[in-house]
Amino acid sequence: MFGNGQVFISHAHEDNAICQPLLAALDAWQITYWFDLQELDPGQRFADKIQQALEQHDLLLRVATAAAERSYWMYRELQAVRGLQHAFPNHPRRIIHLALTPGLVFDATARAEMVIDATSMERPAWLRALREALGYTPQPRVSRRTAIAIGAASLVAAATTVLAARFYFAAPPHTVAALKPATTPQSIASDPKALAQRWHYDFNFSADETAFGGDQRVGLAQDMDALYAATNSGLAVKALAPQDGKVLWLFPSKTSSITTLSNAMIIQVYQNVVYLIGNITTNALASNAFVLLALDKTSGNLLWQSAPISTVNGNASDLLIADNTIYFMGNGSVYAYRLNGTARWQPVSLDPHGGSEFYPNYPMPVYASGMLYVVTNPGKLYALDAVTGKVRWSLQLPGSGTLPGQYVIAAPLVFNGLVVVGSPDNHYYAYDAARGTLRWKSLSPAQPNTDFQEFTCMSQPTYAQSRIFAQSGVTDGLAFKGGRVFAFDATDGHLLWQVDPLQLNIPFQLHNAVVVANFEPATVIGDTVYFTLGCISTDGNQQGVEVLIGLRTQDGTLVSYFLAPVSGVSIALSGDFPSGGRPVANGLAFLSSAPILYVLNT
């Protein structure tokens, strides 16, 4: 293979479908490639990871079509690689133009690079020509598709290098009423806006789980190849095929030196490795300890485990993987580990109290341009140098305090030099990422929390298309105030639209329902923003549903939805929330708090 053996595929978004034979061929040849599934706006074009992808891939494969001729962004990608060729003549880069529509004219520069005209030959012939141009020789490794998905954690990742979304339930476990495996209610089966279920996996009823009494809490990561679920029972980690839910592997295996793994709900997938934090017991070690683990994502085999992390007691944040480092929060400190499991720097203690009785878990750190942004409670926002862990600046978020309703529970969003975070005083605040100076604040449309004895939910915001999407509400076990989902302008924070989910034409079939807001970030895919939230009846009948709603980013019009029945008690009292709307192969994943994992067709 040429250079570093990786291919950056430059293509027009509207050519996604006609690129499929090309992607299938690259998969078959076990060639790693970068293929951007989403149409990005100008701000997202400069996300660190896209720039890195262009820089790190030695071969630009330009899918030349009529649409490509009109694409300015493809033009810039081509010009950028040509500029890199000129600036770094000792670092060879190649450009291949693959013509997939007839009648295109290539200039002398393009012809000198390489043109493969797929329109003048049969598919086997042009694939053979491409294979030879790539210098393909079979390698004994599994192919990997690096596809970016802009949305939710991955939209946060438009300004970071988080490569896979994860779902995590943050509240302490409570007994959840046993549910039968979910079905789609008959009344909505014919609704064209109702998303169809491809398969579901019930963590309480699956055969794998019953020997351990079922799972009640699940963390989930996903990429285009599989969904990776980490649970709090004995059979802790499993990989599921997105096509049919088939279990691909389980960890710990019968031959593993680790005999039990529990409380492993912090999971992330990055490149070919699944990373997680869990409490292990080994054959050699009778006692148990929290460690960071790395598993081969295709086999589930253990690659390494870190030394025990003595100060983390299970209340760790989600894992952020950026700049070849694993970052997380735990016990009031920020941790940084290299991708081989060794500590990059000593934990930096930011919260001497080590968490709170009201909200022991920390929001995950967020990375952008060499900086980490973290929130601790009560309500402090920190910016740290990601290389050294040194604090660059910090500030107290307005409205935060020591009452339960004054805690900040969601991670910030970083984009375009701004840090945006929801504060319990019902505002989202945008600060200059470099200096921490206030740029704007945006009022949430949800009813404000006036006594701060209740649980204030201001979700992690999501950025796309020059807008910020979020949801908020006040969600205590006994007193609910209506949750709202909304969009505001990313440049000055003014409200663009807001939606009361109960006013949408969705058959919730609940009497006297109220909306339970969720702190999970929304996901944007194309022109649709997906939110997950709960609705419960206030009639005391323990009825509830969790819902995935897809709204048009432009105006909040309902595009699609999916309903998952759950016990209203579980939403109200356990504090568990649904999660998802995250892209998997040709579909969306949605995890209810039952917990049941649904994969939906889109």
Q: Summarize as ranges the residues that interact with another protein (CB under 8 A).
A: 41-43, 45-46, 51, 54-55, 70, 72-73, 75-77, 79-84, 86-87, 369-371, 416-418, 432-434, 439, 491-492
CB of 548 to another protein, least distance (A): 30
Number of H helices, E strands in the chain: 9, 41
CB of 524 to another protein, least distance (A): 17
End-to-end CA distance of the chain: 36
Cβ-based neighbours of 322, under 8 Å, separated by 6 or more: 160, 161, 162, 367, 386
CB of 136 to another protein, least distance (A): 25
CB of 391 to another protein, least distance (A): 16
Of 15 and 318, CB closest to another protein: 15
Of 48 and 520, CB closest to another protein: 48
CB of 197 to another protein, least distance (A): 39
Of 43 and 234, CB closest to another protein: 43
Of 366 and 597, CB closest to another protein: 366
Distance of alpha carbon 314 from alpha carbon 296, whole angstroms: 23
**Taking Cα atoms as reference points, which of 263, 235, 399, 282 lies closest to residue 330?**
263
Of 87 and 105, CB closest to another protein: 87
Bridge pairing between strands 427-432 and 418-423: antiparallel
Residue 194 is classified by DSSP as B
Of 79 and 396, CB closest to another protein: 79
Q: Which residues share a beta bridge with 46?
A: none
479, 539 in Cβ contact below 8 A?
Answer: no
Of 45 and 193, CB closest to another protein: 45
Distance of alpha carbon 101 from alpha carbon 13, whole angstroms: 15
Distance of alpha carbon 130 from alpha carbon 24, whole angstroms: 13
Of 419 and 533, CB closest to another protein: 419
Of 74 and 408, CB closest to another protein: 74
Bridge pairing between strands 59-64 and 6-10: parallel
CB of 274 to another protein, least distance (A): 29
Bridge pairing between strands 513-516 and 523-525: unpaired
Bridge pairing between strands 513-516 and 528-537: antiparallel
Which runs of E-coded beta strand occur in 142-257?
Answer: 145-148, 166-167, 197-202, 218-222, 227-231, 237-240, 247-251
- DSSP string spanning 358-399? S--S-PPPEEETTEEEEEETTTEEEEEETTT--EEEEEEPTT
Of 39 and 117, CB closest to another protein: 39
CB of 435 to another protein, least distance (A): 8
Distance of alpha carbon 218 from alpha carbon 203, whole angstroms: 8
CB of 399 to another protein, least distance (A): 23
CB of 420 to another protein, least distance (A): 12
CB of 46 to another protein, least distance (A): 7
Q: Which long-range contacts (CB under 8 A, 24 or more apart) does 342-345 make?
A: 342/306, 343/306, 345/388, 345/389
Of 46 and 539, CB closest to another protein: 46
CB of 52 to another protein, least distance (A): 8
Distance of alpha carbon 341 from alpha carbon 363, whole angstroms: 22
Q: Which amino acid is at 144?
A: R
Categorise residue 512: left if φ over 0, alpha if ψ from -120 to 50, beta otherwise.
Answer: left
Q: Which residues share a beta bridge with 481?
A: 474
Of 461 and 580, CB closest to another protein: 461
Residue 298 is classified by DSSP as T
CB of 404 to another protein, least distance (A): 33
